[in-house]
Amino acid sequence: MKILETNRLILRNFVATDAADLFEYTSNPRVNCFLDHNVSTLEDAVIEIEKRGNADEYIAVCLRESNKLIGELFNMKEEPDTYSIGWNFNARYEGKGYASESAMAFMEYLYMQQEARRLYAYVEDDNFRSQKLCEKLGMRQEGLFKEFISFTKHENGTPKYENTFQYALLKKEWLVQRANQI
């Protein structure tokens, strides 16, 4: 992926020096959907960085002034022109607008450079911050999947299924929103 810049951020591929920062926010996931991405040692973070550095599915979000990794955006392409998107940020940097700033730039990149027609995000029904972010990004809630997916287990070992919202935005809707903001 080419490097994207916003007023305060740089969006780029992961590099080896990101390992400690990645470890900081993935060692103790706050949202169940990231439990599978739990990195328990700095050595594991280095291995994860090596995987992510060679792929455009994970995009590092860094502070422009220091190049410090504060979170990530991710996407998965579904042929021919639909992308599932998401984000994960270090809690120390929440509430400053970094997630929306980076996600807006990333959405523009996907729509304009990658020819995306439709973007969507899955958000668990108790992840209020991501729900608000989807709404801020202009995405509409398309549905609620009851007991959709399991990331955790009950005390008896059976899967604990979570209700999950789907938010989406078509490129043509995004273009209208963008034109209205100018």
97-127 residue pLDDT tens: 999 999 999 999 999 999 999 999 999 998 9
- Sign of the CA dihedral running 128, 132, 135, 139: negative
CB neighbours of 161 closer than 8 A, spacing ≥ 6?
147, 148, 149, 150
Side-by-side strand order, sheet with 159-170: 4-5, 9-12, 58-63, 69-78, 82-89, 118-124, 159-170, 140-153
- Supply the pLDDT for residue 30: 63
- pLDDT surpassing 90 at residue 175: yes
**Cβ(103)–Cβ(73) below 8 Å:** yes
Retrieve residue 60's tokens. Answer: 């590092």
pLDDT over 70 (residue 31): no
pTM: 0.91
Residue 161 has pLDDT above 90, yes or no: no
**How many CB atoms within 10 Å of residue 60?**
25
Strand blocks (E) in the chain: 4-5, 9-12, 58-63, 69-78, 82-89, 118-124, 140-153, 159-170
- Tens digit of each residue's pLDDT (9 = 90 or more) over 45-67: 999 999 998 888 999 999 999 99
Mean pLDDT, rounded, for 64-81:
96
Tokens of 76: 């998965």
